[in-house]
Amino acid sequence: MNIKFEHGWMHLCKDRSLRLTDASGTQVVVRSGSLWVTQDRDRNDHVLEAGEAFKLDRAGDAILYALSASDIELVERLPEVPRANIAAKLLGAAASAAGNWIAGRFGAQGAANRNLRYWDNAV
């Protein structure tokens, strides 16, 4: 299962664990209790108490283990879409739609369509 989120809250009972896969960049915030955090390819383990946070900085798995009943928040940074790209795409789409409307209305095909309509009405 692959779940994407920006903020996720959960409760871990004492002596329970949670495995996070490919969670590099996720921040673990301990709201209450205490948590032991270990990551693949990291020689250091981290113990977090209430009010402390740790940002996962390794590729691979991370294991969160509740040393006591813990309320935790996981904050995952979602990829940002550059605003300049969005604005340029919106303006490009609007210009293209306007250009198509003008060409259809006043271009060669538009004139031909108008002539056919008038010809049909004249008969």
The answer on 22 and 69 residing in a single domain is yes
* 64 and 12 fall within a common domain: yes
Residue 45, SS3? Answer: coil
CA–CA distances in Å: residue 18 to residues 15, 91, 123: 10, 45, 80
Residue 2 lies in a domain: no
**pTM assigned to the model:** 0.60
Shared domain check, 92 and 69: no
Does residue 112 lie in a domain region? yes
Q: Are residues 71 and 14 in the same domain?
A: yes
Number of domains in the chain: 2
**How high is the pLDDT of residue 1?**
40
On whether the CB atoms of residues 72 and 29 are closer than 8 A, the answer is: yes
Domain interval for residue 35: 7-75
**Segment 21-33, tens digit of pLDDT:** 888 889 999 999 9
